[in-house]
Amino acid sequence: MYLKRIEVKGFKSFADKIELDFNGGITAIVGPNGSGKSNISDAIRWVLGEQSAKTLRGAKMEDVIFAGTETRKPLGCAEVSLTIDNSDGIVPIEYTEITVTRRLYRSGESEYLINNTPCRLRDIQEIFMDTGIGKDGYSLIGQGRVDEILSTRSEDRRNLFEEAAGIVKYKTRKLEAERK
């Protein structure tokens, strides 16, 4: 299972559609300050369901939509699609390639899709649970996060090990059952 492709359109500094293909191995994204490197990791976090504008370095969720420049008008919609190669079947659905899409309109309306079929945010969260890919999974380690992991309370550190051990979905289901 690996990140195969990301398509970004109208998200933060990416007014025009960009497509990045990752072909196994290591990919480094380099560029001058302010050129949009962190916006790419924000886009990955966002499409995986991030709900906190602050985590995405904005004040409100609308801030992820291209806000315009001196020469270019703002856009009305942000869209990110992330494609994962699942030929090893680690994500428990029958597709060998999974594309997750999120759209947000300035009106506040939003859409989530799995392989072009509309779904709930919850469906996206569920398929990536215990894979390490989710928005809080260990596959995305932000700046400062390593220190945070090392210095955090043991209970918080435990969450990381539970995700790696693959038991988060059972814990989540148990909590939900208890709430009902």
Which residues contact ligand ATP (rule: CB under 6 A)?
Answer: 12-13, 31, 33-39, 63, 65-67
Residue from 13, 38, 55, 99 that binds Mg ion (CB under 5 A)?
38
Produce one character per residue of 22-46: b if its CB has 16 or more CB atoms within 10 Å, e if not. Answer: eeeeeeeeeeeeeebebbbebbbbb
Q: Which is nearer to Mg ion, 35 or 115 (CB)?
A: 35
Q: Angle at Cα 151 formed by Cα 1 and Cα 61, nearest 5°?
A: 60
Based on CB atoms, which residue is closest to ligand ATP, 36 or 132?
36
The CB-side HSE value for 168 (13 A sphere, CA atoms) comes to: 21
- Alpha carbons 76 and 158: distance in angstroms, whole number: 41
Q: How far is the CB of 84 from Mg ion (least distance, A)?
A: 24
| 13 touching Mg ion, by CB under 5 A | no
Cβ of residue 176: shortest distance to ligand ATP, in angstroms? 35
Of 106 and 174, which has the nearer Cβ to ligand ATP?
106
Residue 32 assigned to a binding site: yes
49 among annotated binding-site residues: no
Residue 34 annotated as binding site:
yes
Tell me the closest approach of the beta carbon of residue 75 to ligand ATP, in angstroms: 8
Residue 78 Cβ, how far from Mg ion at the closest point, in Å? 18
How far apart (Å, rounded) are the C-alpha atoms in residues 125 and 139?
14
Does residue 125 bind Mg ion (CB under 5 A)?
Answer: no
Cα(24)–Cα(130) distance, integer angstroms? 21
Residue 23 CB partners (closer than 8 Å, separation 6+) = none
Q: Which residues are annotated as a binding site for ATP?
A: 32-39
